[in-house]
Structure 1
Amino acid sequence: MIKAVLFDLDGTLIDTAADFIRIIQAMCREGSVEVVSAERIRTQVSEGARAMVRLVYPDLEVTDPRFLELRQAFLDRYGADIAVDTTLFEGMDELLIQLEQRKIPWGIVTNKPRGLSEALLKALNLTERCAVLVCPDDVKNTKPDPEPMFLAASQLNIEANQIVYVGDHPRDIDAGKNANMPTILAAYGYLPPESADDLEAWGADYIVQDVTELSDLLLSLVNQ
């Protein structure tokens, strides 16, 4: 029986891509470099700030002071305007309400830093609704290691195998499997191009194409 639901953040629970696209394309124009396409940026959102800078300056070494400066500039911009165009995925709020009405706690396990994650939840009025938030700051080993999954389970006081994890990246599915959690692949999310052609190979227990499918599946699991 499923007693709780955990979500990855970017690309699974919340559609943050528009703000990444806005900032990165502005940085391209200001740096007089070729503007990176929105779709390319979208597929890299889950990889974080370093990946964003690599999209703009692919030949710049990550140890280069200029790279570090650009990464910080991106983070500063993103932190200042973290939810200009960001929203919950369509239908997600209704799903969360359904879980809350059934007394099923939901939470987040993400590789997004805590400061940014908390700011994002606050901007979307989700802070009080989210039962647990686990970020890289909270653990020694991040996803795909199961440590953050076990920490979330411990904070919820629920056995890991009674918690379903929903994510849109292979590391999400691996992390859930490594913690013995049932896993759901959110195929509507920011799928990495190198592994998007064979979703079955990720090894998730379930694959959903949109939030409607996710809602139907989760409600069936928690009602068993």
Structure 2
Amino acid sequence: MNDIPFDIVGFDLDGTLLDTHRDLGEAVNHALALGGFAPVPVAEVEGLIGGGAKLMLRRAIDNQGGIGDEEFRPLYKALLGYYADNNTVHTCPYPGVEEALETLASQDIRLAVVTNKFESFAAAILTQLGLADRFVTIIGGDTLGKGRAKPQPDPILEAIGRCGGGRFVFVGDSSYDMASARAANVPVIAAGYGYCDMPPHELDADAVIAGFDELIPAIKAL
């Protein structure tokens, strides 16, 4: 019996489904080194994640005094090139992710990814990890065009449409995720174990989970 009160579950990627911080950090540090900047310590990488790779690199550089757009562009291009070749060196699903996805799929719940990572990167990483075929759609920060990524509601609304409509709940770890879900008028669960840009219980989520083993009970309780 399906006792889950939703037809679709949408997920953010970085810090929600996957622990990506080491690979992202190494890509950022590759670009920083080319620009003559100091590397970001691994322990500080999570605080930069959210909003996509460009914002991540911009934050890292701004923390060291900043540079102009002309100098920034080649460093950002270098980051993307490095990450394209090295995005699943350390990246892996969080504990319990595969089991939870399997349980949801077994109850005919449609699954979607809505991330601010480029769609090509998200799809490639999920494919390499053997997870891509679990999702009806993978929507990236560039999928819908400029200005339509999270925190806008557009990617969540697009995910609902691509999944055939129905009751939707979103799971994410940042204020971008919460704002996008609120703007789309759907309930949202905070992944408190992820790269939260503020304390998880201050993210204005409908529920907070400390691990993926708590996800399905949290969904059922909404």
Give the TM-score band, short-chain normalised: 0.7 to 0.9
Unmatched runs of 5 consecutive residues or more in structure 1 = none
Q: Deviations over 1:152-188 (max 9, x none)?
A: 11111123xx111001111211111221211101111
Any conservation in 1 of the 2:34–2:75 contact (CA below 8 Å)? no
Q: Structure 1's 62 and 213: CA in aligned 2 closer, same or farther, altered over 3 A? A: farther
Mapping 1:92-171, distance limit 5 Å: 92-140=97-145, 141-159=148-166, 162-171=167-176
Cα shift at 1:16 = 0.8
Is contact 2:31–2:75 with CA below 8 Å preserved after alignment? no
**CA separation in 1, counterparts of 2:121 and 2:206?**
30
- Name the SS for the 1:204 alignment partner: coil
Number of aligned residues: 214
Instruction: Return the structure number with greater helix share.
Output: 1
What are the residue-to-residue correspondences of 1:1-224 with 2, within 5 Å?
1-27=5-31, 33-54=37-58, 55-56=60-61, 58-63=64-69, 65-140=70-145, 141-159=148-166, 162-192=167-197, 195-196=198-199, 199-218=200-219, 220=220
What CA distance in whole angstroms lies between the structure 2 residues aligned with 1:174 and 1:107? 18
Instruction: Decide whether the 8 Å contact of 1:36 with 1:56 is kept in 2.
Output: no
* Aligned AA (1:119): A
Contact 1:3 1:105 in 2 (8 A): yes
5+ unaligned residues in a row in structure 2: which ranges? none
Counterpart secondary structure, 1:120: helix
Cα deviation for residue 56 of structure 1 reads: 4.7
Q: Tell me the percent identity.
A: 29
Partner Cα distance (1:49, 1:108) in 2: 17
